[in-house]
Amino acid sequence: MFDESALLPVSAIRSETRRRVAHYDRVKVSPALQKQYEDEGWIVDKTLKTSVWMRRIKRHDVQFEDLVWAMCARLGFETLNRDRSMKIPYGKGSNESKQIDILAADDEVVLVIECKSSGAEYPPTQAFKTETESIKGYRAGVIASIRSHFPKHKIRFILAINNIHASKDTLDRVQNADISILDEEAVSYYHELANHLGTAAKFQLLGNLFHGQQIAAIEAEVPAIKGRMGGFTYYSFAIEPARLLKISYVLHRNSANVRWMPTYQRIIKRSRLKKVSQFVDSGGFFPNSLIVNIDNGGKPLKFDRSGKHAGSTTLGVLHLPRKYRSAYIIDGQHRLYGFAHSDRAATELIPVVAFVDLPSEKQLELFMQINENQQAVPKNLQNTLNADLLWSSPDKRKQAHALKLKIAQLLGEVKSSPLRGRIIIGEEQSDTTRCVSLDAVQRGIDRGRFIGEFTANAVKSFGSFYRTSNDDTCSPLVEFLELCFGYLRDQLPTQWNIGRGEGGFVFTNAGVEALIRVIGDVVDHLDAAGLIDPRENSPSSTFTQTRPMLKTLAEHLGSLPLDEVSEFRGWLGGGAPTKYLRRFQSAIADSHAEFQPDGLAEWIADQEKQFNVESFTMVHAIEAHLNSDIRRRLEDRFGTEWVKNGVPKKVYQDAQAQAAAKQYDAAPGTTIDWWDCLYLINYREILQHGNMALWNEIYDADYTLPSDEKKTSWKDKSGWLVRLNDIRNKVSHNGTVTEDEYDFLHVLNSHFGL
């Protein structure tokens, strides 16, 4: 027995739910106590005449427990504990009672929930061995006490966890102990579903918690037609929505569902559901059938033939499973849930086409085929679905594609992954931090050569991590990439927190794809050097060998000046990841000369001459300007005596000799002007001919660069021509123009208005 005073009156559930979903506690105190409360972290919420409302953010554990309690209330559980002081006896001794975080019951089930929460920045991994053993120890006694109040109810023990990573082994061990686990994402999912469905969302929770268990007092028989379609058995029948809802389950794309089987349905939309509900309540009906899959564990459904048949179809009575989550809705979730709160749910009949024990991949394929002709399936959702649909494909190439997509999906979903919440899964919306597509990650995995190349029937070449099958390869590669990105996150906190915001470029689509590819390059390099064997070594040991080169890359990226960051952010489109990759490779190779991935040397050579073509054009434009402008200035100043007064004699003689040589080889009618035979450096000799007065008169205003204005020597002010001549020699004789020299030419071009 337990004290019923520990239960909250039904009339108080609504107001208590509002309090529980709030992120803060509120309390009314006298003004005299305001300072004391403020010292304890409370802040003023509202000041009244004789009292003050104070509020304080709830601790993470209290906030999570309250959200789980509120979830139960919103799903329609009307028997709920008043607070966390509730205790249920599990033995006869006075000290043999268990404090219960949450007790929730309805007409059929009782939930006993223990909540665990972590306030760490990143979810720690916990095994929950103590909690599991503790529940196993007091379970029988607590059930006996609960039975005194709820004798025919099903009872489920639940471990609700927040910001904690539970490994697959832990999940399996807890489940084997007949305990369910709900994490904060599942709790959020049921709150979201309650927003759309109200208390009807409880069918999803019950299908989760009591999968395969019998439902009491449900009529299972329906008149039906049995037939074959596409090689599969199907039944066509009509049924009341109220009956179908109890055994139905919708595989929404959400972490609350992903453990069991491939999930494909989009979340129910409130606006669409509201229209369907209004249509139903106004007397509307749907002549088109719901498409469902009956999960009967591989056993044939009981079907009482009437003896009548037509062609391949047979009339009879079908016995549906009396079990939670035995009918998976492939198409028609809005039509079904539109009846959830209607008085017609128990009397109206809706048509259903039910397949039996369809393979999960076939369910997914059928869903996609239906939606291709209705509402289009977005590319990112297609990728999410294909990770499951193609997993067991007989085509090895499609299997490999599914493996890459599944790894990308897991990196975005599992709590141990630093990229959880950064990768867009299904129909999630992007934002500043959730900005990396599945496509970008799977391209990185593909081009990083982790998986390998395949023909339709065989492995063409093994990737660095491929361990002969998808199942054997998936977990080690996910763990390795988690370690790599966890390290990069810790080494580049500013970039990590910026995401794709102002100044962010590393943890974006292009950046993440390039990071995965360069990690693949490092793995291949270490493998070729005999330092690692990724197919045999543990992911952690492979990461240990990889880390020094990642450290070099992180140090380089963390020290980039703003102009280089802007350069990265300016690279857009399909070619951006390759540009990122080459810069990442080059940064590592600068400190690790032995690291020379394919194509890097050629890229560096091309980069070294990337400024040559435009520099050649700018040099000749500047040279042409000097040729015309200096002669004009001299002619304006000295008239017909401009050569004698403005040009050094040796410059003139050398140019005349050069002109004579060219004239000798020139075509008939061509006249070679000696002035056009000057070399670039000759213009500096001309500018320096004469004296300072002449320089000041005809050259200084336009031939002194702004950076040279403080120079006192008029000859030094023309020194830029020496640098220009050096650059001209490079572009004319296949030298390499540096970025600094390229920028200098832009300065000259701008200065002369070219």
Q: What pLDDT shows up at residue 348?
A: 85
Distance CA 306, CA 301 (A): 15
Q: Given a cut of 60, is residue 259 above it in pLDDT?
A: no
Q: Given a cut of 50, is residue 258 above it in pLDDT?
A: no
Segment 240-250 mean pLDDT: 85
Closest to 646 (Cα-Cα) out of 660, 658, 627, 633: 633
Assign 3-class secondary structure to 87-133.
Answer: EEECCCCCCCEEECCEEEECCCEEEEEEEEECCCCCCCECCCHHHHH
Give the architecture (CATH level 2) of 4-23+58-205: 3-Layer(aba) Sandwich (3.40)
Least confident segment among 308-322, 507-521, 606-620, 715-729: 606-620
Backbone angles phi, psi at 125, to 5 degrees: -95, 125
Indicate the pLDDT class of residue 668, thresholds 50, 70 and 90: confident
- Provide the angle, in degrees to the nearest 10, between the axes of the packed helices 438-447 and 379-389: 50
Domain boundaries of the chain, sorted by first residue: 4-23+58-205, 213-375, 380-601, 612-751
Segment 150-159 mean pLDDT: 93
Q: What pLDDT shows up at residue 16?
A: 95
CB 688 within 8 A of CB 721: no
Question: What is the Cα gyration radius of the chain?
Answer: 38
Q: What pLDDT shows up at residue 246?
A: 85
CB 230 within 8 A of CB 345: no
Name residues whose C-beta falls within 8 Å of residue 353's C-beta, 6 or more positions apart in sequence.
234, 235, 236, 289, 290, 291, 292
Indicate the pLDDT class of residue 362, thresholds 50, 70 and 90: confident
Distance CA 212, CA 502 (A): 51
Segment 47-71 mean pLDDT: 94
Distance CA 570, CA 449 (A): 27
pLDDT > 70: what percent of the chain? 90
pLDDT > 90: what percent of the chain? 46
Distance CA 42, CA 28 (A): 11
Q: What pLDDT shows up at residue 1?
A: 60
Q: DSSP 3-state assignment of 56?
A: strand
Please tell me which residue, 407 or 375, carries the higher pLDDT value: 407
Q: What pLDDT shows up at residue 562?
A: 87
557-602 pLDDT, tens per residue? 999 988 888 889 888 888 889 989 999 999 999 999 999 999 888 8
Within 531-679, residue ranges assigned H as helices are 539-558, 562-569, 576-591, 600-608, 612-638, 642-646, 649-665
What stretches of 23-64 adopt beta strand conformation (E)?
24-29, 43-47, 52-57
Instruction: Tell me the pLDDT of the chain averaged across its residues.
Output: 86
Q: What pLDDT shows up at residue 216?
A: 74
Q: Given a cut of 90, is residue 196 above it in pLDDT?
A: no
463-510 pLDDT, tens per residue? 999 999 999 999 999 999 999 999 999 999 999 999 888 889 999 999
Distance CA 370, CA 363 (A): 11
Least confident segment among 80-89, 140-149, 323-332: 323-332
Distance CA 547, CA 217 (A): 61
Q: Given a cut of 60, is residue 239 above it in pLDDT?
A: yes
Q: Given a cut of 60, is residue 31 above it in pLDDT?
A: yes
Distance CA 441, CA 423 (A): 8
Q: What pLDDT shows up at residue 450?
A: 97
Report the DSSP beta bridge partners of residue 228: 233
Q: Which of 17-31, 182-196, 203-217, 280-294 has the highest mean pLDDT?
A: 17-31
Segment 190-204 mean pLDDT: 82
